[in-house]
Amino acid sequence: MGDKIRVPVRRGEQTEERRWLSWATPEFQIQQHRHSTLPFVKVKKFNKSTRNDLASPAILPSLCFIPPTIQLASRKRAAEAICCFQTPPVMLPPHLPPDSPYTHCYCEENIYLLAQKFISDSGVNGDWNVYIVFISNDSKTVVLRNQKNAPHEDLPVCWDYHVVLLLRNVSIYPPSDTENCNWVYDFDTRLPVPVPLAGIRRSSNDSHRIPVTDRYKLEYLRQTFSDQLPENFQSLFRLVPGEVYLEYFASDRSHMVHGDGSLLSPPPLYPPIYGSKILGRGIRSNLMENFVCMTPSDDKFGNVYSLHNFERWARGQS
């Protein structure tokens, strides 16, 4: 079983009282016994290299709740390693509610209702900022991979636009390269929901250490978009605060009607959606003009990013 190393915790104001999640690695396992108030590190091979790994913040993924300072001491060796963590614990995002309404080809309304649910939930709204992400370009031809609507899982889909929801952890500011604080909810992706927007970045010195779990290999931007496509197939991203979307969105669903009056896809059974600050202003629809359109303008909502700049935003670099 290897050495068992007791990990005394220097308790302070930032210390999380929650129990840790178990996390296994090829070399050791961090866990907490249910009858113990202190976590343990079970080491299969304890040597200088292992101590260096233990002392690196890269060893602990975002799925662990991390006390601010941990001291590691071996009972078999007179060696100690000190781990100092400057960032607060990272919270797991909420699950996609199982009763979330979904209508095929009406992503903007599916996401509106999900945003409504998250923003009205104090358990979510207190810890997460809600954003709506519109994905399109000037030619209305964006290519996305890993979409359920593709005829085959290896083939991409070309949409005129797409809409997803993004949660950003409010406790991490500025966002960190080593923590997943942005999570995407896409009803139409083949990836897990939610899924990290951008994966954990590691330096070349850390690349040989602890492998990222399979879930963290699935980062939404890299697995869905490509910057190697012709320009007319590359995506732009309009990032809109969730509250703004709920207040100002309006759609009479006319964009889903052919010239002969036939429907591109059957509409939802509930009435068309109009935000609280749109009602009574005579606006029938602003979906395409104020949200899907990627031309920067003062009368539109949110900010527009290229793929590269959106990834920089996710990592807190812009």
Superfamily of domain 93-318: Protein N-terminal glutamine amidohydrolase, alpha beta roll (3.10.620.10)
pTM: 0.70
Residues with catalytic function: 107, 162, 186
Q: Which two tokens stand for residue 26?
A: 């090829």
The per-residue pLDDT for 179 is 59
Task: Tell me what pLDDT residue 155 has.
Answer: 95
End-to-end CA gap in the chain: 46
- Predicted confidence at residue 37, as pLDDT, reads 39
- Residue from 140, 97, 75, 71 nearest 288 by CA: 140
- Token pair 């866990």: residue: 31
Q: Where are the domains of the chain?
A: 3-84, 93-318
Residue pLDDT tens, the chain, 318 long: 444 334 443 333 333 333 333 333 333 444 443 333 334 444 444 444 544 444 433 333 332 333 333 334 433 332 333 233 333 445 789 999 999 999 999 999 999 999 999 999 998 998 999 999 999 999 999 999 999 999 998 999 999 999 999 999 987 666 655 456 899 999 999 999 999 998 655 444 443 333 444 444 569 999 999 999 999 999 999 999 999 999 999 999 999 999 898 999 999 999 999 999 998 888 999 999 999 999 988 778 999 999 999 999 988 876
